[in-house]
Structure 1
Amino acid sequence: MKIEQIYTGCLAQGAYYIVSEKEAAIVDPLREIQPYLDRLKKDGVTLKYIFETHFHADFVSGHVDLAKATGAKIVYGPTAAADFEFISAKDGQIFDVGNIKIKVLHTPGHTLESCTYLLIDENGKDTAIFSGDTLFLGDVGRPDLAQKAGHITQEDLAGMLYDSLQTKIMPLADDVTVYPAHGAGSACGKNMQKETVDTLGNQKKTNYALKQPNKERFIVEVLDGLTAPPKYFGMNVAMNKGGYESFESVLKKGKQPLSAEDFETVAEETEALILDTRNAAEFYKDFIPNSINIGLSGDFAPWVGAMIVDVKQPLLLVTDEGLEEEAITRLSRVGFDNVIGYLKGGFQTWKNSGKETDQINRISPEEFAKQFNENSKVIDVRKASEYEAEHVNEAYSKPLDNIADWAGSIDNDEHFFLHCAGGYRSMIAASILNSRGKRNFTEVEGGFKGIQQTEKVPTSDFVCQSKI
């Protein structure tokens, strides 16, 4: 028997490849399926089942394409409904894969169809659970995504989650390995550990949610501090339920090289959003007017989802040469399938054409320290929890996640400084504000980390945040 965790850091997502004898199963696959097909071919095994822990909201699964390519059966838990053929498994149902067994544990709470899959090895021993978004390391799945107005509330779902954990997960042996669907950085939880694998026994000792004395306290603690989910989540759920265009088709459509002239023409005719994926350190110096910067080197796909929201929005890409396919692939993972081309040769092509460019006013932390005074207006786009831990004195907390809500209220006649933790998020914010005609700001390179190092700008006292 072999269990391989295939972890994708930029999405904080774990897929699982399981082999026994000449049969295989995959749990929660990512959108692009070729890596899985390559593994199957290398191992000389047949994919028998694709186990889905639930209808994912933060990424588009590769289940539909993988089933078509291999003939494997897609498995969901009870109550699941979708527009493609799948097995709606019963609670306790067992699936054979080679010499091992996969047992379905229906664990509603994160969503109603959520399941945990228990792996029973060749000797009949409970060995591991693939817990999806039911149980994370250090946390549990947020219970606010599947609520329905007038029918089911987040408190109802949190109560279901408590019952699922107490009746299905906690009775399992301490030496059972926990393989969650997500790790630290995912928007599906608020307090996840950086580790991606642990024992259930250690989680019983360290996971705050598993240590609550009763259901009432569990509900309060799990719901406390939840921020609004990213707005693209619902669109990803719809794609996972209804199916989608094949990844190969999406890739072919997106990999259309365009000259500067053609790029400009297509942008005007289609009203496509120009997405510049270069590093902030390059973007601010020169970019195509009205383009949005979300760097490929950071948490690219989740931020695209949070900032652009509409997965059907036509996109034109500006990337470093050779990274076009990576950008299209990572966009497809969160459902942004409407890339219609990219600037051939990267930004230098635009520059060489003599077309208009734009810039962001960016300064070093040292220069910020020189310019800062008691009358300076500072906007901090980090998460509220980061701001509460420590911030520049009198700075305004305006999280990037909510920029659509606060950008319009910016006073165009009052200069302000803009920063995040390290410069990635503040350049996203800067490009969005700039595209909306807001030019009365200066972005601080290096963010709060750089500002702290100057030791010249007054900051609040540090407060340790026990939950993020």
Structure 2
Amino acid sequence: MKIEQIYTGCLAQGAYYITSNGEAAIIDPLRETEPYMKRLEKDGVKLKYIFETHFHADFVSGHLDLSKKTGAAIVYGPNAKPEFEFISAKDNQEFSIGNIKIKVLHTPGHTMESTTYLLIDENGKNHAIFSGDTLFIGDVGRPDLAQKAAHMTQDELAAILFHSLRDKVMTLADDVVVYPAHGAGSACGKNMSKETVSTIGEQKATNYALRANMTEAEFVQEVTEGLLPPPAYFGMNVAMNKKGIESFENVFNNGMRTINAIEFEVVAEETGALILDTRKNGDFAKGYVPQSINIGINGDFAPWVGALIADVKQPIILVTESGFEEETVTRLTRVGFDNLIGHLEGGFEAWKKAGFEVDTVNRITAEQFAKEVKIGESKIIDVRRESEYEAEHVDEAYSRPLAYINDWVKDINPEEHFYMHCAGGYRSMMAASILQARGYRNFTEIKGGFGAIAKTTVPKTDFVCQSKVL
């Protein structure tokens, strides 16, 4: 028996590849199937089942492409009703893979179809659970995402999750390994650990939601407290996972089409495409194709695309750093942004050499900011998360999280200058690009963000541990 966790950092997502005696199963696969196909070929095994823990909201699954390529059956737990052929598993039903078994534990609460899969090894011992978004390391799945589909409130779903955990998960032996679908950085929970593997015993001892003698009312209150609004693209990804999607290869090939600098602007205008520039924020600040939005590939790229662009049907045309075209297209398809028109051949340098108009962002160093700013007079906007702001911030700065830019942008006075920063420059450059695309030029963005500002003499509030302000 072999278990491999295939962890994708930009989505904080774990898929699982399991083999035993010539057969294999994959749990919660990402959209691109090639990595799985290579593993199957290398190991000389046949994929028998593709298990889905629930309808994912934060990424598009590769179950359909995998099934078509291998003939493997797609398995969902009770209550799932996708619009394609699948096995509707019953609670406690067992599936054989070589010499091991996968047992279905229906654990609703995060969603009503949420299912935990229990792996029983060759000796008949409960070895591990693949808990999906039911149980994370240090947290549990948020119960607010499925309210509309389940026709329930988040409190009602949380109460169901309370019993799923205590009746199905916490009754397992302490040495059973826990393999969750996500880790720190995912929006599917609120306080997940950076660790991606644990045990039932460790979680009973450390996970607040599995606390001994915890009442249902306490669980509901603590699990629902402090939930941020889900990214706008979540509902669209759920729909794609239910209904079926275009093959990864077709979408990938569209994104890999080259468009030369002369044709680029015309194509963008004719298609209504958003120009997405995925270069580093420092490079973008020095020069970019006018009206471009900057979301750097070297960061939490896919989640921010989902949060800021939101509509997965939005046509997109790409400007990337040379050599990053394939990675950019792949990451976009993972979160369902399939309407890719192509990318600028030769990147921004080709645009610049062709003599077309170039835009820039007014960026200064933290040292320059320290010399210019007048606390109490200058307006300062901090686009970090509220918890980061509350932990420590520049005196008199306003908290305006990037995730809510569509809400606070309308309150900007275009005649009033302001300074803007995040933690290190990644998010503030996204905000700068969005603001300039909407006609706002009355700001100065700060290179290095709060990390650099903190090293200057600019007055700051006293630091408070972030765990106390979440």
Offset at residue 466 of structure 1 (A): 2.2
Root-mean-square deviation (Å): 1.0
The equivalent residue for 1:428 is 430
Q: Using the alignment, how far apart are the partners of 2:398 and 2:223 within structure 1?
A: 28
Q: Using the alignment, how far apart are the partners of 2:68 and 2:397 within structure 1?
A: 53
The equivalent residue for 1:50 is 50
Do residues 357 (structure 1) and 367 (structure 2) align?
no
Offset at residue 458 of structure 1 (A): 1.1
Unpaired runs of at least 5, structure 2: none
Equivalences for residues 444-463 of structure 1 within 5 A: 444-454=446-456, 456-463=457-464
1:52 aligned partner, one-letter code: E
- CA contact under 8 A between 2:114 and 2:134: conserved in structure 1? yes
The equivalent residue for 1:404 is 406
SS state of the match for residue 284, structure 1?
helix
The equivalent residue for 2:329 is 328
The equivalent residue for 1:117 is 117
1:118 aligned partner, one-letter code: L
Q: Using the alignment, how far apart are the partners of 2:169 and 2:342 within structure 1?
A: 47
Equivalences for residues 191-210 of structure 1 within 5 A: 191-210=191-210
The equivalent residue for 1:31 is 31
Q: Using the alignment, how far apart are the partners of 1:321 and 1:149 within structure 2?
A: 43
The equivalent residue for 2:340 is 339
The equivalent residue for 2:82 is 82
Equivalences for residues 237-256 of structure 1 within 5 A: 237-256=238-257
The equivalent residue for 2:95 is 95
Q: Using the alignment, how far apart are the partners of 2:421 and 2:105 within structure 1?
A: 45
1:403 aligned partner, one-letter code: I
The equivalent residue for 1:15 is 15
1:241 aligned partner, one-letter code: K
The equivalent residue for 1:314 is 315
Q: Using the alignment, how far apart are the partners of 1:140 and 1:97 within structure 2?
A: 28
Percent identity over paired residues? 69
Q: Using the alignment, how far apart are the partners of 1:369 and 1:186 within structure 2?
A: 34
Distance 1:233 1:377, change over 3 A: same
- CA contact under 8 A between 2:60 and 2:336: conserved in structure 1? yes
2:445 aligned partner, one-letter code: E
Q: Using the alignment, how far apart are the partners of 2:341 and 2:262 within structure 1?
A: 15
Offset at residue 408 of structure 1 (A): 1.5
- CA contact under 8 A between 2:57 and 2:234: conserved in structure 1? yes
Q: Using the alignment, how far apart are the partners of 1:227 and 1:217 within structure 2?
A: 19
The equivalent residue for 1:464 is 465
Using the size of structure 2 for normalisation, the TM-score is: 0.98
Unpaired runs of at least 5, structure 1: none
Q: Using the alignment, how far apart are the partners of 2:372 and 2:199 within structure 1?
A: 51
Q: Using the alignment, how far apart are the partners of 2:304 and 2:220 within structure 1?
A: 29
Length, aligned pairs only: 467
Distance 1:145 1:257, change over 3 A: same
Offset at residue 294 of structure 1 (A): 0.2
Q: Using the alignment, how far apart are the partners of 2:419 and 2:88 within structure 1?
A: 53
Match of 1:414 among 416, 422, 437: 416
Instruction: Identify the range of structure 1 (457-466 vs 115-124) with the bigger mean alpha-carbon deviation.
Output: 457-466
- CA contact under 8 A between 2:112 and 2:150: conserved in structure 1? no
Offset at residue 148 of structure 1 (A): 2.3
Q: Using the alignment, how far apart are the partners of 1:158 and 1:183 within structure 2?
A: 20
The equivalent residue for 1:133 is 133
Q: Could you give the per-residue CA deviations for residues 36-91 of structure 1, whole angstroms, max 9, x where no partner exists?
A: 00000000000000000000000000001100110000000100011110011101
Offset at residue 150 of structure 1 (A): 9.7
Q: Using the alignment, how far apart are the partners of 2:306 and 2:56 within structure 1?
A: 14
Instruction: Identify the range of structure 1 (134-143 vs 369-378) with the bigger mean alpha-carbon deviation.
Output: 369-378
The equivalent residue for 1:266 is 267
The equivalent residue for 1:156 is 156
Offset at residue 237 of structure 1 (A): 0.2
SS state of the match for residue 466, structure 1?
helix
The equivalent residue for 1:378 is 380
Q: Using the alignment, how far apart are the partners of 2:202 and 2:323 within structure 1?
A: 43
1:178 aligned partner, one-letter code: V
Q: Using the alignment, how far apart are the partners of 2:258 and 2:148 within structure 1?
A: 44
Off by >2 Å, runs of 4+ in structure 1? 148-151, 465-468
Offset at residue 388 of structure 1 (A): 1.1
1:320 aligned partner, one-letter code: E
2:411 aligned partner, one-letter code: S
The equivalent residue for 2:394 is 392
Q: Could you give the per-residue CA deviations for residues 283-313 of structure 1, whole angstroms, max 9, x where no partner exists?
A: 0000011100000011111100000000010
SS state of the match for residue 466, structure 2?
coil
Do residues 184 (structure 1) and 187 (structure 2) align?
no
Using the size of structure 1 for normalisation, the TM-score is: 0.99
SS state of the match for residue 138, structure 1?
coil
Offset at residue 185 of structure 1 (A): 0.3
- CA contact under 8 A between 2:273 and 2:316: conserved in structure 1? yes
1:156 aligned partner, one-letter code: E
SS state of the match for residue 412, structure 1?
coil
Instruction: Identify the range of structure 1 (253-262 vs 303-312) with the bigger mean alpha-carbon deviation.
Output: 253-262
Q: Using the alignment, how far apart are the partners of 2:300 and 2:163 within structure 1?
A: 34
The equivalent residue for 1:223 is 224
Match of 2:440 among 435, 438, 441: 438
